[in-house]
Amino acid sequence: MQIRQQAISRALSQLPQALLLSLRNHLEIWATVVVVLAAASFMLSRGTGFSITLMTVFAIWAMLAVSLNLVLGYTGLLSVGHVGFYGIGAYTVAALTANPRQELLEGEIIQIFAWPFFAALPVAVALCGVVAFVVGVAFSRFRDDVYVLVSFGFAIIAYNVFVNWQWVTRGPFGIHQIPKPAIFGYTINDDLEFLVLTLAFLAIVVGISWLIVTSSFGRVLKAVREDEDAIEVFGYRSSRYKLAIWVISAMMAGLAGAMLATYTSFVDPNSFILLESILLVAIVILGGLASIWGSLLGALAFVLLEEGVRFVPFLPPEHVGQVRQIILGTLLVLLMLFRPQGVAGRFKL
């Protein structure tokens, strides 16, 4: 009897240590369990409408996170400029599909195209690709810290364009009344149907990303990340690989932007400030570098965080975003101290 008690107490005394060790070694699994459970409990407690909104927002952020992870996690280019492509995608769809009746900017002639969504979408994605190609060529010489700053620069220039190119973007007023996607005369107005569409696009993005990172191309990307000069000696033009993944990633971000535009039926420059990009970088690093699953996890955690923060007692609702930002910022610092690859990551910065 006594012996058994001793054994139990010894096991109990070792439990915290064992748990901690397990937490460190299997953080990916633990995090997945926690995040998925949190998501499930939120959805169950808040009902269908909330769940659909949550999942749609998640899907858009997840597309962004996966696309950035291709560049940041797999190729090692810390780009803070992805919000620019996100915005280009959103604005292209907005400008091409919107059919505003009331608010026309005074003294400005605004082109109205009123295209269907599925016609505008390929244009948006292609435009992102073209812009990314030009930007990528201009940025091909830069690495590391310098790359971060020029990509900062790209985000700011993109924001400047959104605010100031009023002929197309209608400046700070934004573009209203962006229609929902319609195909063969059938409009996807229902939230659930829209969610399915968004998830389908997310699945495409994840699928393509998975194919890329498991192909020979993906292996070369990782090698470029590890030692750009060494991989060149083995016959690869690393700048081409970097450019290619940059363009692909930008097109995915553009797709996410297009979905955002038609989802909120309204775009304005405030959705594409530099801060969004920084949050995105935080999501990707938090979720895990060079791990697609990690990016999905990070995006889900990010979306849940906003809802979770609302439960903090005595917190005025207008501070929810700030608290989330503080949590992300602090997590980023802690990760850099203890786990530079993020929760589910395969690449340490």
Partner 1 sequence: MDILSRPGRPTLILAIALTLLAVAYIGWKVTESPDQALQFTITGLNVGAVYALLALGFTLVYSTVWFFDLYYGAAAAIGAYFVFYLRAGQTTDASYDPANIGLNIALGAVVAGVTAWALHTAFFERMQGRYPPLLVRAAYLLIAVGAGGYTTILLLYPDNLHQIAAPLITLISTAVIGTVLYWALGRFGFGSTGSSRLVTIFSAVIGLVAGATAAIALAQTPESRLYISWLVSCLLAGAVSLALYRGLYAFILLRARSTLIMLVATLGVLLTITAILVMVFSNTTHPLPASFGNNLLTLGGATFKEFALFAIGSAFLGFAILWLLIRKSPLGKVIRAIGDDEQVARVVGINTTAIIAIVFFIGAMYAAFAGILTGQDIAIQPRMGLELLLKGWIASVVGGIGNLYGAILGGFLLGVVEQFGIWDIAGEWQDGVALILLIVFLSFWPRGIIPRR
Partner 2 sequence: MLQTLDIEKRFGGVYAVDRLSISIPRGLITAIIGPNGSGKSTLINLLSGTLPLDGGMVVVGPKRLRIIKPFDSPNIGLTRTFQDVRLFEQISVLDNLYVVMTERSSLLSLFQRARKEHRERAERILNVVGLWEKRNDLAEELSYGQRKLLEVGRLMAMNTQIYLFDEPFAGLALHMIEVVKGVMRELQEYGRTIIFVSHNMGIVRELSDYLIVMDSGRLLAHGRPDQVLNDPAVIEAYLGN
Residues near partner 2 (CB under 8 A): 211-212, 214-217, 219-220, 222-223, 225-227, 229-238, 240-241, 244, 346-348
The item of partner 2, partner 1, none sharing an interface with residue 234, based on CB under 5 to 8 Å by kind, is: partner 2
The item of partner 1, partner 2, none sharing an interface with residue 330, based on CB under 5 to 8 Å by kind, is: partner 1
Tell whether the torsion through CA atoms of 270, 274, 279 and 280 is positive or negative.
Answer: positive
Give, to the nearest 10 degrees, the angle between helix 48-69 and helix 82-97: 120
Q: Which is nearer to partner 2, 181 or 287 (CB)?
A: 287
The item of partner 2, partner 1, none sharing an interface with residue 322, based on CB under 5 to 8 Å by kind, is: partner 1
Q: Which is nearer to partner 2, 92 or 249 (CB)?
A: 249
Stretch (H or E) spanning 296:
helix 292-309
Alpha-carbon torsion angle 188, 192, 196, 198, nearest 10: 70
* Rounded distance between C-alpha atoms, residue 44 and residue 347, angstroms: 35
Q: Name the residues that contact partner 1, by CB under 8 A.
A: 78, 138, 141-146, 148-150, 152-154, 156-157, 160-161, 163-164, 273-275, 278-279, 281-282, 285, 319, 321-323, 325-326, 328-333, 336-337, 340, 348-349
The item of partner 1, partner 2, none sharing an interface with residue 226, based on CB under 5 to 8 Å by kind, is: partner 2
Give the single-character DSSP code of 237. Answer: -
Q: Which is nearer to partner 2, 108 or 226 (CB)?
A: 226
* Rounded distance between C-alpha atoms, residue 315 and residue 295, angstroms: 29
CB under 8 Å to 307, separation ≥6 — which residues? 42, 54
CB of 99 to partner 1, least distance (A): 27
CB under 8 Å to 221, separation ≥6 — which residues? 70, 74, 75, 212, 213, 241, 245
CB of 141 to partner 2, least distance (A): 15
CB of 266 to partner 2, least distance (A): 37
Q: Which is nearer to partner 2, 224 or 301 (CB)?
A: 224
Q: Which is nearer to partner 2, 82 or 225 (CB)?
A: 225
Q: Which is nearer to partner 2, 321 or 340 (CB)?
A: 340
CB of 107 to partner 1, least distance (A): 15
* Rounded distance between C-alpha atoms, residue 101 and residue 150, angstroms: 39
Q: Which is nearer to partner 2, 57 or 248 (CB)?
A: 248
- Long-range contact set of residues 330-336: C-beta below 8 Å, sequence gap at least 24: 331/282, 331/286, 332/282, 332/285, 332/286, 335/285, 335/286
Strand partners, 28: none
CB of 46 to partner 2, least distance (A): 41
